[in-house]
Chain A
Amino acid sequence: MNEIELGSTDPVGARDGKDLVSGVPVLPLPAHTPRRADIDPVAAKRAERQVALMFASSIALLIAFTVAYIKVPNTSLVSIPVIGTVGTNHVLLGLTLGLALFLIGTGAIHWAKKLMPDVEVTQERHSLSSSAAERAEVVEIFNRGAAESGFGEHKLIRRTLLGALALLPIPLVVLLRDLGPMPNTRLRNTIWKKDVHLVTDATYQKIKASDIPIGGLINAVPENLLEIEESEGNLNQRGKASIILVRMDPAEILGQQGENWDYEGILAFSKICTHVGCPISLYQQRTHHLLCPCHQSTFDLANKGNVIFGPAARRMPQLAITVDAEGYLVARGDFKEPVGPSFWERG
């Protein structure tokens, strides 16, 4: 070590082997050791060929990319170990393009490392702050401008201008008014009404009470949903009115949100989590627990739909049901409390 004597060749920013700013010892930059390609023409030639080979392979791969694009049908599949079954066209395009790009990159870097100069260069840093005189000049110019404009003197001008500027955001906010409707009671109502049939989600079949076994679970929606979805052209009502039906032994029901809201042990609950609105899907029939897959809030359907675990703060709203003359399940009215996530005005 210490082949180079301390302080003999101070780098920029150091004197007597010490950094001028921080005062810590600084060792000089060692002399450059040439690489093989710098002194051996054969090694240089080899490096040149390696770089060119990478670029040439990239050319070949780009041609292969084009051929694959044209020749390999988009529908053919290929099965690759570990990766599974994937589109042949997709994999070939990915491999050829990826490798072509990769080889351009490695070629350029190999070139820089082997053949371009590798002598480290030292450059001086210049102070990032201006001189005191320059700063003073800026302040002076600023003050001169302020004086010339009379911004300080003309109080009336200044205050009215500031007032106008302060109100400028008004149009920006006002213009946003038509982004959406006022909330009104939208979050409080669903399309459930007295005597609306409960139908199965997806197939819209009326549900006979006697068809549901104890322990059974059915995803249901109001019968009028399809019609309303079509006329409104959106899924908004589905996001509020979806329910799940479960049947349990009436003796196991510990409590309901209203007197006799079940029909012979069949209970209807909102499917929309009261936390942030995920549709709930996991029901454990032994415990009567309903679990939300989003953040694991758990509700006890045998006991008023109360929250027994997780981040949801409100119970699952229950829908009062009964049957029509033919024994099909119908609603006895809308939910008695808002479904879905909380909101400021909910109360």
Chain B
Amino acid sequence: MSDTQQKASENVVVSKVGVAAGYVDDRLASANFTKRLLDKVFPDHWSFMLGEIALYSFIILLLSGTYLTLWFNPSMTEVIYNGSYLPLKGVKMSEAYSSALNISFDVRGGMLMRQIHHWAALFFVAAVTVHLLRVFFTGAFRKPRELNWLIGTGLLTLAILEGFAGYSLPDDLLSGTGLRIAQGIMQAIPVVGTYVAMFVFGGEFPGTDFIPRLYSVHILLIPGILLGLITVHLIMVFYQKHTQFAGPGRTESNVVGYRLYPVYMAKAGGFFFIVFGVTSLIAGLVTINPIWLYGPYTPSQITAGSQPDWYIGWLDGAVRLTPNIEWNILSHTISWNLLIPALIIPGIMFTLLGVYPWIEAWITGDKREHHILDRPRNAPTRTALGVMALSFYLILWIAGGNDIMATAFNLSINTVIWTLRIALFAVPPLAFVLTKRICLGLQRRDKEKLLHGYETGRVLRLPHGEFIEIHEPVSFEERAVLLSKVDVPVMEITSGEDEHGVRNPKGRKAKIQAKLSGWFYTDNVSAPSEQELAEADEHFAHQLGAHERTAIDSH
């Protein structure tokens, strides 16, 4: 193509886009918005892809789930199975189970879609959880992003519920067992529990109403709310602009990265296909939830050693660890053995999770906006609290497999349960102390590196015979990161009495707050002063000189 020809064809493309854009703009005045949208800069970091994985898994769930609805029949009416899976031919089962078998064995590609759907659900909750951890440990939830954190907590809750609902639909022996447990827990709610269970199940367990009801919850209600909340979540990220890690050229008042169009779009769009592709590959190769092996649900049968999907494990573990306390007061029953693990503990955990940004802001008295992310080590108390919570969660999760552990390590269930009960209270505080120490150690090392460089491992003999190890200054990028550590002043402790010696309640609150703030910050290693930095620079320059001299000497 000649130059002029190419120019001409480019012009045609441009003007076509121009005409289309003009048409829309005449009706919506969209040019300004589109311009800002396409030009928007997004910072790059691998950990920012975690939220993306969650988003893409959600889209995969919508696509594969819609496909499944074309054949799935959410009915508990009994039928005799007559499909191509021979071992179950002639067996009585619900239409739900029979249609799930049909999708697996008689619809071409149906098995693949079922597997993609299930794997995507596992990845979805996993990505949401790890995304939450990255937001937590980097302090991305601080002002002005607290509201998005709250929405995120809602998303996590809904994601878990949605997964459980989906798991329960096919009416196989495993999913029915999960529902039986859920129903038993509903029944344990004081005062209204019996009614709740009766109304939700349309009578006694299992009844014939529940799966059709659950179906509309699973394919309409929860996904609808999720979709709405995810939209708001992303609009907020967009509107408030993404946070960024410290580095050269990064400040609290700017964003450094690539434009949405074309680079970020190509990368993010490409990444969507990678997530979808990997999910499909795994779905094609690794079987998950082989419902045909479990058989149809009946309330008088069970398979031993059955496990729920991973994100329910911690609840199951909590139920297993709680001692069998039940009260009987005036011929009414309070089942603490279920209320504590299934309602009270999750209630406390999710409430603390949701309000954490406000708790921390209150403790630290920090009212400023934050757009540069914390390195976890530079917020040791927060990091330690996070690891503490995480260890609590993990022990509950492990407890969900206590029978598997007992068999695997040839221990009695009793030993395993008591070990885990003790660990549940002993490990989190230990994790707190240990994490905080590690963080402070890392802070000290950072300061050391900034002032004395890093050890190169090269040893040098000075002219007078002394051996020294050469320290090199850290790289430019690393220096920018190390220098970004903010020294936070601990709040002044104001006395709890006013000048006339009268105790004032506000002062008392301030005192508690100041104490907590001290607890949050005091151990931090202070950032090097300007003078220290200048001396360090001079030292390096000097060492460089000595280094060169010795090099000459040894010739």
Q: Check B402 against A87 for contact (C-beta < 8 Å).
A: no
> Which positions 53-92 of chain B face chain A at CB distance < 8 Å?
76-78, 84
- Closest B-chain residue to A271, C-beta based? B300
B341 to chain A, nearest CB (A): 8
Complex Cα distance, B201 from A89, in Å, reads: 39
Please, which residues of chain B bring their CB within 8 A of the CB of A341? 184, 187-188, 335, 338
Please, which residues of chain B bring their CB within 8 A of the CB of A233? 77-78, 208
Please, which residues of chain A bring their CB within 8 A of the CB of B527? 24
Q: How many residues of A contact B (CB 8 A)?
A: 110
Q: Check A296 against B254 for contact (C-beta < 8 Å).
A: no
Complex Cα distance, B287 from A3, in Å, reads: 56
A323 interfacial by beta-carbon distance below 8 Å: no
Known contacts A98-B280, A128-B369, A276-B180; decide if A108 and B328 are in contact (CB<8 Å): no
Q: Check A311 against B337 for contact (C-beta < 8 Å).
A: yes
A218 to chain B, nearest CB (A): 13
Q: Check A279 against B252 for contact (C-beta < 8 Å).
A: no
Stretch at the interface among A41-49, A234-242, A250-258: A234-242
> Which positions 432-479 of chain B face chain A at CB distance < 8 Å?
473-476, 479
Q: Check A93 against B256 for contact (C-beta < 8 Å).
A: no
> Which positions 172-198 of chain B face chain A at CB distance < 8 Å?
177, 180-181, 183-185, 187-195, 197-198
Stretch at the interface among A25-33, A137-145, A152-160: A25-33
Please, which residues of chain A bring their CB within 8 A of the CB of B495? none
In the complex, which of the residues B204, B270, B332 contacts A240, with contact meaning CB atoms closer than 8 Å? B204
Please, which residues of chain B bring their CB within 8 A of the CB of A168? none
Known contacts A103-B277, A125-B241; decide if A74 and B414 are in contact (CB<8 Å): no
A20 interfacial by beta-carbon distance below 8 Å: yes
B473 to chain A, nearest CB (A): 5
Q: Check A122 against B249 for contact (C-beta < 8 Å).
A: yes
Contact with B along A89-110 (1 / 0, CB 8 A): 1111111011111111111110
Q: Check B115 against A26 for contact (C-beta < 8 Å).
A: no
> Which positions 207-242 of chain A face chain B at CB distance < 8 Å?
219, 221, 233-236, 238-240, 242
In the complex, which of the residues A21, A27, A104, A122 contacts B41, with contact meaning CB atoms closer than 8 Å? A122
B216 interfacial by beta-carbon distance below 8 Å: no
Complex Cα distance, B286 from A70, in Å, reads: 23
Please, which residues of chain B bring their CB within 8 A of the CB of A26? 248-251, 480, 483-484
Q: Check A109 against B270 for contact (C-beta < 8 Å).
A: yes
Please, which residues of chain A bring their CB within 8 A of the CB of B115? 90, 94
In the complex, which of the residues A125, A279, A312, A313 contacts B302, with contact meaning CB atoms closer than 8 Å? A279
Please, which residues of chain B bring their CB within 8 A of the CB of A275? 184, 337-338
Contact with A along B470-500 (1 / 0, CB 8 A): 0001111001100111100000000000000
Secondary structure class of chain A's binding surface, majority of residues: loop
Please, which residues of chain A bring their CB within 8 A of the CB of B206? 234-236, 239
Complex Cα distance, B282 from A186, in Å, reads: 46
Q: Check A121 against B258 for contact (C-beta < 8 Å).
A: yes
For the side of the interface on B, what is the size category?
35 or more
Complex Cα distance, B180 from A236, in Å, reads: 12
Known contacts A12-B254, A98-B278, A313-B326; decide if A116 and B479 are in contact (CB<8 Å): no
Q: Check A108 against B302 for contact (C-beta < 8 Å).
A: no
Please, which residues of chain A bring their CB within 8 A of the CB of B276? 101, 105
- Closest A-chain residue to B331, C-beta based? A347
Q: Check B256 against A122 for contact (C-beta < 8 Å).
A: yes
B45 to chain A, nearest CB (A): 13
In the complex, which of the residues B183, B278, B306, B486 contacts A24, with contact meaning CB atoms closer than 8 Å? B486
In the complex, which of the residues B195, B269, B320, B368 contacts A311, with contact meaning CB atoms closer than 8 Å? B320
In the complex, which of the residues B111, B205, B253 contacts A125, with contact meaning CB atoms closer than 8 Å? B253
Please, which residues of chain B bring their CB within 8 A of the CB of A101? 273-274, 276-277, 280
Known contacts A21-B368, A344-B333; decide if A28 and B285 are in contact (CB<8 Å): no
Complex Cα distance, B271 from A201, in Å, reads: 53
A149 interfacial by beta-carbon distance below 8 Å: no
Complex Cα distance, B287 from A181, in Å, reads: 40
Q: Check A276 against B338 for contact (C-beta < 8 Å).
A: yes
Please, which residues of chain A bring their CB within 8 A of the CB of B328? 347
Q: Check B208 against A234 for contact (C-beta < 8 Å).
A: yes
Q: Check B266 against A121 for contact (C-beta < 8 Å).
A: no
B301 interfacial by beta-carbon distance below 8 Å: yes
B272 interfacial by beta-carbon distance below 8 Å: yes
Q: Check A311 against B323 for contact (C-beta < 8 Å).
A: yes
Complex Cα distance, B251 from A94, in Å, reads: 46
- Closest B-chain residue to A9, C-beta based? B249
A309 interfacial by beta-carbon distance below 8 Å: yes
Stretch at the interface among B101-109, B130-138, B354-362, B379-387: B101-109
Known contacts A30-B248, A120-B249; decide if A74 and B108 are in contact (CB<8 Å): yes
A342 interfacial by beta-carbon distance below 8 Å: yes
A151 interfacial by beta-carbon distance below 8 Å: no
Please, which residues of chain B bring their CB within 8 A of the CB of A278? 177, 180-181, 302
Q: Check B273 against A20 for contact (C-beta < 8 Å).
A: no
Known contacts A30-B248, A121-B259, A345-B194; decide if A11 and B254 are in contact (CB<8 Å): yes
Complex Cα distance, B184 from A51, in Å, reads: 56
Q: Check B257 against A120 for contact (C-beta < 8 Å).
A: yes
Q: Check B76 against A183 for contact (C-beta < 8 Å).
A: no
Q: Check B251 against A20 for contact (C-beta < 8 Å).
A: yes
Known contacts A107-B270, A180-B203, A294-B177; decide if A11 and B249 are in contact (CB<8 Å): yes
Q: Check A29 against B248 for contact (C-beta < 8 Å).
A: yes
Q: Check A179 against B298 for contact (C-beta < 8 Å).
A: no
In the complex, which of the residues A93, A120, A187 contacts B258, with contact meaning CB atoms closer than 8 Å? A120
Q: Check B284 against A94 for contact (C-beta < 8 Å).
A: yes
B202 interfacial by beta-carbon distance below 8 Å: yes
A265 to chain B, nearest CB (A): 24
B267 interfacial by beta-carbon distance below 8 Å: yes
- Closest B-chain residue to A97, C-beta based? B280
Q: Check A238 against B298 for contact (C-beta < 8 Å).
A: yes
Complex Cα distance, B173 from A294, in Å, reads: 13
A200 to chain B, nearest CB (A): 12
- Closest B-chain residue to A183, C-beta based? B194
Complex Cα distance, B273 from A191, in Å, reads: 56
Please, which residues of chain A bring their CB within 8 A of the CB of B316? 295
- Closest B-chain residue to A347, C-beta based? B331
Q: Check B181 against A27 for contact (C-beta < 8 Å).
A: no
Contact with B along A108-137 (1 / 0, CB 8 A): 110111001110111111001000000000
A346 interfacial by beta-carbon distance below 8 Å: yes
Most chain A C-beta atoms within 10 Å of own C-beta, residue among B180, B316, B475: B180
- Closest B-chain residue to A23, C-beta based? B486
B419 to chain A, nearest CB (A): 14
B372 interfacial by beta-carbon distance below 8 Å: yes
Known contacts A24-B527, A121-B256; decide if A276 and B205 are in contact (CB<8 Å): no
Q: Check A276 against B185 for contact (C-beta < 8 Å).
A: yes
Q: Check B325 against A313 for contact (C-beta < 8 Å).
A: yes
Q: Check A343 against B188 for contact (C-beta < 8 Å).
A: yes
In the complex, which of the residues B183, B189, B198 contacts A181, with contact meaning CB atoms closer than 8 Å? B198
- Closest B-chain residue to A184, C-beta based? B198
- Closest B-chain residue to A127, C-beta based? B369
Please, which residues of chain A bring their CB within 8 A of the CB of B326? 313-314, 342
Please, which residues of chain A bring their CB within 8 A of the CB of B195? 182-183
B543 interfacial by beta-carbon distance below 8 Å: no
B15 interfacial by beta-carbon distance below 8 Å: no
Complex Cα distance, B280 from A180, in Å, reads: 41
In the complex, which of the residues B251, B262, B272, B403 contacts A293, with contact meaning CB atoms closer than 8 Å? B403
Complex Cα distance, B190 from A275, in Å, reads: 16
> Would you list 20 pairs from A and B whose C-beta atoms are within 8 A, ordered by A residue?
A20-B253, A90-B111, A90-B115, A93-B112, A98-B278, A101-B280, A107-B270, A111-B270, A122-B249, A182-B198, A272-B299, A276-B180, A293-B305, A294-B181, A296-B417, A310-B413, A311-B337, A313-B335, A342-B333, A344-B190
Known: A105-B277, A238-B298, A275-B337. 18 other contacts (CB 8 A): A3-B476, A21-B369, A22-B372, A94-B115, A103-B277, A120-B256, A120-B258, A121-B41, A121-B259, A272-B299, A296-B403, A311-B322, A313-B326, A342-B326, A343-B197, A344-B190, A345-B331, A347-B332
